[in-house]
Chain A
Amino acid sequence: MLPPRTGAPTYSGLVSEGQAVPLRVRVELAHAAVQRLADSCGVDVLHIKGPAVDPGLRRHESSGSDADVLVRPDGVDRLMAALAAHGWRVETTFEAGSAFDHAANLYHPSWGLVDVHRLYPGMDHEPAAAFEVLWAERGARPLAHVACAVPSPLGQSLVLLLHAARTRTAGEHPDIAPNWTERTAADRDALRALAERTGATVALAAAIGELARHAGTPEAALWEVFAREDDRLGEWRARWRAARGPAAKVSVAVRSLGVNRYYLRQRLGHEPTGSDVAAEFVRRLRTGVGAVAGRMVRR
């Protein structure tokens, strides 16, 4: 039975805006919030990873710490503008986030973090064409009771496998078995075909231990770094080798020293000052120099 009201304007024990919301709930609500904004600005979005994945394709319970969405490339600017207009703050730009330039990370006080992918690592040769392939075969999954578009089950497996390929783990990544090893031969053939159609043949090979078939290519060099333990310099060097043209190579080299303000804030426990950012830049530079020195010693 309902507790008696005591004159308060609301039931303080029943509704709370300040009460802790579990991370998995925030992530699911973040997916739903982004979908609403995508609908409002007419942008196609595929929800990937975390709660957007069919339960049978995940071997581990974690829903991740942020919501991941893959955006049709020609709608990225519109979605980013809509997000900014609704209180999302950019923590990491596309250029600063990773060696692949693939995702911007944004924070909202109600929903936490979202990764907006303008391309998916491994399917990055022709992002618009890869998105269209995934979109054409999409399914639907309600997230927080909001209809969200998700890749087909095979598309979800490919996304998870490509993510596993660039995630360093002790032993086999837990997403490999349900999405490859335990799939039927027909499913694996279909996954290879889907990888070919999305330009992800080499990245899939990296995920399933067949990278040697592509040895000697710049793209294979990039994925080799993720396939074995290596330092950060190795990641950026491989990315530099894979970059197409002098301008892209210079861009990769400069960004390898960039400071991620969000992660710096997490580490410091407060908003980074200009001095903090400068100190972090120097620290990263020294780390890079240290990695070079380490390689020289090993030679």
Chain B
Amino acid sequence: MTAPGVEVSAAAGWVEVDGVVYAAALPDGPPLVLHGPGALVWRAAVPGGTLTEVVARVAAAAETSAEVVADDVTRFVDDLVAAGVLTYA
């Protein structure tokens, strides 16, 4: 089965300050605060690509294997899609 594509929602706005990402579905919000690993997942999703590619970027940035982070990243991406800041293509 092909991994779904992930991209930033057309409705999203976001700002990164001092390593913390503040993202929101506009125009209503509310703003989400993504720090640490959450910010890492966001940065991995911003260029777009398949979920597999996003997982690989996170794993590379965290200096671990994709298998270790795959489930967590997938669920977290689900959360961000539910919040309206990411979409599955």
Q: Which A positions have Cβ atoms within 8 angstroms of B?
A: 1-5, 9-11, 13-17, 19, 21-22, 24-26, 28-29, 32-34, 36-37, 40, 86-87, 108-111, 143-146
B29 touches A29 (CB 8 A): yes
- Counted as pairs of residues, one from A and one from B, with CB atoms less than 8 Å apart, the total is 104
Does more than half of chain B's interface fall in helix, strand or loop, or is it mixed?
mixed
A86 touches B31 (CB 8 A): no
Q: Which B positions have Cβ atoms within 8 angstroms of A?
A: 8, 11-15, 17, 22, 24, 26-38, 41, 58, 62, 64, 68-69, 71-73, 75-76, 79-80, 83
A36 touches B64 (CB 8 A): no
A14 touches B13 (CB 8 A): no
Contacts of A109 in B (CB 8 A): 30
CA distance A111 to B22 in the complex (A): 12
Contacts of B12 in A (CB 8 A): 145
CA distance A199 to B55 in the complex (A): 57
CA distance A110 to B12 in the complex (A): 14
Q: A1-B62, A1-B68, A29-B24 are in contact. Are A144 and B14 (CB under 8 A)?
A: yes
B37 touches A15 (CB 8 A): no
Contacts of A16 in B (CB 8 A): 32-33
Q: A2-B73, A29-B26, A110-B31 are in contact. List 18 more A-B contacts (CB 8 A).
A: A3-B37, A11-B79, A13-B36, A14-B35, A14-B76, A19-B33, A21-B22, A21-B31, A24-B17, A25-B22, A25-B31, A33-B13, A34-B27, A86-B27, A108-B29, A109-B30, A144-B24, A145-B8
